[in-house]
Amino acid sequence: MPGRPSDPLWHAVSTFGLDFVHLPPGAAASRGAPVSPQTDPGISSVRRAMSDLAAEVAGCRACRLAETRKLPVFGEGNPDSGVVFVGEGPGQTEDETGRPFVGRAGQLLDRILASIDLDRTCCYIANAVKCRPPGNRVPLPDEMEACGWILERQLEIISPGVIVALGASAASALLGSRASIAQLRVGWHSRGEASLMVTYHPSAVLRTPALKRPVWEDMKKLRSRLNEIGLPRRSGNG
Ligand code: SF4
């Protein structure tokens, strides 16, 4: 079904920067009724575990990035959703606010999520490293290694059904692969019980608008997979 101005998702898709889309069957699946934290006993334990870990990370000085960061950026969203997006590391705005993906790339990520009927209340967003590399450089291997346990622990707590790696650093952290995004985005990967997709980082899309089309193709595949396995779980609040 081609996207048209009357389609429910059309506005979000058009802000993503495309003028024609073909949504997979069931792409606009109805949102499940929200589950109250008071009536879902699973929520509090997951959120408590995540909160405890965030408190632990707040004081982390295990690598040189602690010397120049303003705030560590732990991650945010819905840890009960079963869906996790992983980026590279905080930029300037994230470093100043302590929140992931809130600069220009984050605004684009929000539009990408909206284009497939997701938002920050129905996925979790984190980075491979939790502190800003100076000048937004790529995290160094020893920094990735020092920080890796935090992402691992987050994934253990969340136990996601689907992980999306945004860019090469996330793919390296999650798959241990240095292959190109063009190679890794072909097909799904497995990571534990989760299906893992690799796509371009929103910053790369901002630099190279031609990447909008492959990212949109990836998002259609993601939407189809989520529909197949009944994710995200839309319980709780971010
Ligand atoms: S980047 Fe990770 S390991 Fe390094 S100081 Fe920050 S939280 Fe700790």
- pLDDT the model gives residue 157: 97
Compute CA distances 173 → 39, 116, 136, 198, 217, whole Å.
Answer: 36, 25, 17, 12, 23
Cβ(72) to ligand 1 under 6 A?
yes
Domain boundaries, the chain: 42-229
Task: Please state, in angstroms and rounded to a whole number, the distance separating the CA atoms of residues 50 and 200.
Answer: 27
Cα of 49 from ligand 1 centre, angstroms: 19
State residue 234's pLDDT score.
Answer: 78
pLDDT of 133-160, one tens digit each? Answer: 999 999 999 999 999 999 999 999 999 9
Q: Does 140 sit in the ligand 1 pocket, CB within 6 Å?
A: no
Distance 212 CA to ligand 1 centre (A): 31
What pLDDT is stored for residue 236 in this prediction? Answer: 53
pLDDT of residue 24: 44
Q: What is the pTM of this model?
A: 0.85
For the segment 212-218, the average pLDDT, to the nearest whole number, is: 97
Query: How many A from CA of 108 to the centre of ligand 1?
Result: 26
Question: In which band, very low, low, confident or very high, does the pLDDT at 43 lie, cut at 50, 70 and 90?
Answer: low
172 in Cβ contact with 196 (< 8 Å): no
CA distance 164 to 183: 15
In this structure, whether the domain defined by 42-229 belongs to CATH 1.10.3720.10 is answered with no
